[in-house]
Amino acid sequence: MYSTREMQDKILQLKKENDICILAHAYQSHDIWEVADYVGDSYGLSLQAAKSPCKTVLMCGVRFMAETVKILSPEKKVLLSNSQAECPMADQMDADLVRQMKAQYPDYAVAAYINTTSELKTECDVCVTSSSAVKIIRNLENPNIIFIPDCNLGSWVSNQVPEKNIRLVHGGCPTHVRVSVKDVEKARALHPEALLLVHPECLPEVAKQADYIGSTTGIMDFAKNSDAKEFIIGTENSIVQHLQFDCPDKDFYPLSKDCVCHNMKATTLADVLKCVSLTGGEEIILPEEVMTGARRCLDTMLTLG
């Protein structure tokens, strides 16, 4: 039985020996952050996907993130840290439904949140992430846009880009929708001096009350650079711990104790050790036509974002 420190040392040694780069989403636990080559939000991870000089990339996150790396770096071997790590939002909509919407609204461009399957992306015009959505939607030529599948993120974007005619489709993140206005009232009453920082996947009535709305990286950067000393964090609760670790002179409180994504938490340090030992994880393999079709959508995101 290894200690956390021993496992981390072994991971650092093996990833070097086996030429593996570790990318981790911000919702991963701190012991995984410490062995990663890059930690960030979905947009940052997409940018890193093509940059790594290593032959193998290990994605500690959820499936659509590992698929994004494979599509942007087809020559690399890409591993998903734990094959159970699915994003439930990504499975809310399939390519057939998009085809039906396109037939019904032929004059609309289709913008897909990156939290979607690769097959669905082949039917869309562009991908967006929480940190790039406003800029990309503003930069799209078509004034008519169908935004899928997160209607909370979509409605936040829509308010900021009123010149576009945005049609939302019902869907969203089951973790962030657990946060309620009651949670805001309770947290504000307990911490009246604290700033409220919220992810745009939260319900609009929650986001409306925030002092700042942004992606996971956006929230962390805001808290680190702010002169304020107390913050209520309205996103997955691992961010509360990461911020407390990085800024010991400030205080961070979860907006809701229920804002925990069990899919992101499926990956453990032991999984990472198995992956860098080349005895675990799932290699991502996608059909050629899916790789090509989805790449177009992701490339447009990187160009417009």
Binding site for ligand 13P (CB under 6 A): 26, 41-42, 87, 115, 129-131, 173, 201, 215-216
What residue 122 binds from ligand SF4, ligand 13P, none (CB within 5 to 8 A, per partner kind)?
none
Among 89, 95, 126, 184, binds ligand SF4 (CB under 6 A): 89
Q: Which does 215 bind (CB under 5 to 8 A by kind): ligand SF4, ligand 13P, none?
A: ligand 13P
SS3 21: strand
Report the residue from 161, 223, 232, 261 that binds ligand SF4 according to the rule CB under 6 A: 261
> Does 62 participate in binding ligand SF4 (rule CB under 6 A)?
yes
Q: How far is the CB of 292 from ligand SF4 (least distance, A)?
A: 25
Stretch that binds ligand SF4, among 2-10, 12-20, 171-179, 243-251 (CB under 6 A): 171-179
Give least dist CB 6 to ligand 13P, A: 30
- We find the least distance from the C-beta atom of residue 256 to ligand SF4, in angstroms, to be 13
Dihedral angle computed from the Cα positions of residues 70, 31, 54 and 38, in that order, rounded to the nearest 10 degrees = 70
Least separation in angstroms between residue 9's CB and ligand 13P is: 28
Decide if residue 263 touches ligand SF4 (CB under 6 A). Answer: yes
Task: Select the span of 12-20, 76-84, 96-104, 169-177 touching ligand SF4 (CB under 6 A).
Answer: 169-177
Number of DSSP helices (H) and strands (E) in the chain, helices first:
14, 13
Closest approach of ligand 13P to the CB of residue 285, in Å: 22
Which residue from 239, 264, 273, 275 is in contact with ligand SF4, where contact means CB under 6 A?
264
| Dist CA 63 CA 118 (whole Å) | 10
Smallest distance, ligand 13P to C-beta of residue 278, A: 27
Helix extents (H) in the chain: 4-17, 30-33, 42-49, 63-72, 95-104, 118-121, 133-139, 151-160, 181-190, 204-207, 216-225, 238-246, 269-276, 288-304
Tell me the three state secondary structure of residue 176: helix
Read off the tokens for 119: 């097959």
Please tell me the distance from the alpha carbon of residue 130 to that of residue 137, in angstroms, as a whole number.
11
With CB cut-offs between 5 and 8 Å by kind, which of ligand 13P, ligand SF4, none does residue 42 bind?
Answer: ligand 13P
Which region holds residue 108: left if phi is over 0, alpha if psi is between -120 and 50, else beta? beta
Q: Please say whether the dihedral angle defined by the alpha carbons of residues 297, 302, 303 and 304, taken in this order, is positive or negative.
A: positive
